[in-house]
């Protein structure tokens, strides 16, 4: 059976022109060109792959750096947006407190808004309103008379305001200019703005320097700033007035801060700062004489370096120096034992086992 099958297979192969005994060189033996391609053709794919492997890490590094800086910028934008939103929210709450008569709460809110965003619009003006209300005298209210409206033409009003301004009647100039602006906002707008700025600034400095009416002066400066930036003199007086009000608010609450602030104002010879300095310094000295937290209080004392040559600060300097020395004693490391060079006693033959020195 096997022989029959083999014979039939041979016949079929011979019928298609194939001889099983003849090897097929064309199928089994590759040519020289197929077996060994040229060297430059073999290396060409590896060159492309090498550049590809170099580009991938560089692209990844660039992408990572871009993502990092984009994230940092976005975090900064989000932080600023959060600060602005918080300042706006506190400003709105301060307006509500101001309208409800909660002037102390409104003052704290507006001060917080200014700390968050010093460029926040109207925050300084509203703070001045709150301070003005807090320091208003508690007298019986008097009926407010309605001012008689000025019915003069706008040109006459401008001439009246200009004459009042030249005579340094700042209040008269301001009232007349406001009446003019109510009648015709566009009449000589640039000149009216300039006169309002000058009159408000001049009245503010007069209130602050001569009448010691700091709150009303700050309010006028805030109004003047609507018409143009304040000059260096006005900014300096505004800073001093704010410092005085801040120091005054710390009396009885933060004696160290009140002492430091009134010291700065006293050295400049402003208002009654030297008298307030004596009061604050005496209370601060009493506080330091009764404290037992030597290091914490001395650290607070050394923040300002009070000069010892001012009589009002004599006791402050005395107790402050004592606190610093006491803190150094408490925090100093223990002394290291020293060797004297004398021989140590030996334990030989004393009664009751007591060591006796030799000799």
**CATH number, domain containing residue 230:** 1.25.40
Is the model's pTM score more than 0.95?
no
pLDDT at 311 exceeding the cut of 80:
yes
pLDDT at 27: 43
- Please check whether residues 211 and 126 belong to one and the same domain: no
Alpha helix positions (H), the chain: 2-15, 25-28, 32-35, 39-99, 103-116, 123-134, 154-166, 170-183, 189-209, 214-224, 232-249, 255-267, 273-290, 294-301, 314-331
Place of tokens 């100039």: 173
Q: Which of 263, 238, 237 is nearest to 250 (CA)?
A: 263
- Please check whether residues 215 and 286 belong to one and the same domain: no
- Please check whether residues 292 and 323 belong to one and the same domain: yes
Place of tokens 């020395």: 325
pLDDT at 160 exceeding the cut of 90:
yes
CA distance linking residue 167 with residue 186, whole number of Å = 25
289 part of a folded domain:
yes
Encoding tokens for residue 318? Answer: 């005395």
CB 200 within 8 A of CB 220: yes
146 part of a folded domain:
no
36-53 residue pLDDT tens: 555 555 555 555 566 666
pLDDT at 22 exceeding the cut of 50:
no
12 part of a folded domain:
no
216 part of a folded domain:
yes
352 part of a folded domain:
no
- Please check whether residues 224 and 281 belong to one and the same domain: no
How many C-beta atoms lie closer than 10 Å to residue 274's C-beta? 16
pLDDT at 91 exceeding the cut of 90:
no
CB 320 within 8 A of CB 326: no
For 203, the 3-state DSSP assignment is helix
Give backbone dihedrals phi and psi of 318, rounded to 5 degrees, phi first: -65, -50
21 part of a folded domain:
no
Selected residue with higher pLDDT from 214 and 124: 214
Encoding tokens for residue 253? Answer: 């609450």
Domain count, the chain: 3
- Please check whether residues 75 and 160 belong to one and the same domain: no
Q: What is the domain extent for residue 119?
A: 57-134
180-230 residue pLDDT tens: 888 888 899 999 999 999 999 999 999 999 998 999 999 999 999 989 899
- Please check whether residues 116 and 156 belong to one and the same domain: no
């Amino acid at each position: 059976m096997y022989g029959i099958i083999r014979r039939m297979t041979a016949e079929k192969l011979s019928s298609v022109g194939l001889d099983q005994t003849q090897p097929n060189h064309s199928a089994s033996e590759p040519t020289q060109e197929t077996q060994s391609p040229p060297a430059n053709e073999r290396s060409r794919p590896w060159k492309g792959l090498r550049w590809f492997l170099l580009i991938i890490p560089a692209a990844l590094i660039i992408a990572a750096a871009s993502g990092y800086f984009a994230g940092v910028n976005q975090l900064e934008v989000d932080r600023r947006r959060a600060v602005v939103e918080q300042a706006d929210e506190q400003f709105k709450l301060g307006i509500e407190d101001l309208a409800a008569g909660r002037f102390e709460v409104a003052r704290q809110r507006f001060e917080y808004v200014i700390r968050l965003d010093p460029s926040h619009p109207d925050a300084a003006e509203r703070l001045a309103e709150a301070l003005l209300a807090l320091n208003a005298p508690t007298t019986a209210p008097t009926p407010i008379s309605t001012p008689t409206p000025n019915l003069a033409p706008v040109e006459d009003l401008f001439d009246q305001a200009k004459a009042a301004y030249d005579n340094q009647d700042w209040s008269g100039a301001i009232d007349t200019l406001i009446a003019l602006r109510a009648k015709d906002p566009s009449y000589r707008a640039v000149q009216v703005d300039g006169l309002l700025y000058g009159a408000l600034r001049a009245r503010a400095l007069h209130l602050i320097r001569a009448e010691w009416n700091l709150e009303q002066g700050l309010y006028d400066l805030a109004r003047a700033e609507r018409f143009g930036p304040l000059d260096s003199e006005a900014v300096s007086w505004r800073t001093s007035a704010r410092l005085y009000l801040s120091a005054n608010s710390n009396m009885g609450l933060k004696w160290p801060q009140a002492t430091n602030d009134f010291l700065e104002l006293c050295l400049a010879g402003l208002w009654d700062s030297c008298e307030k300095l004596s009061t604050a310094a005496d209370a601060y000295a009493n506080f330091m004489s009764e404290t037992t937290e030597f290091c914490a209080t001395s650290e607070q004392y050394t923040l300002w370096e009070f000069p010892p040559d001012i009589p009002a600060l004599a006791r402050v300097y005395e107790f402050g120096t004592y606190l610093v020395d006491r803190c150094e004693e408490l925090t100093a490391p223990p002394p290291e034992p020293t060797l004297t060079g004398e021989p140590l006693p030996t334990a030989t033959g004393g009664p009751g086992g007591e060591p006796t020195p030799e000799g």
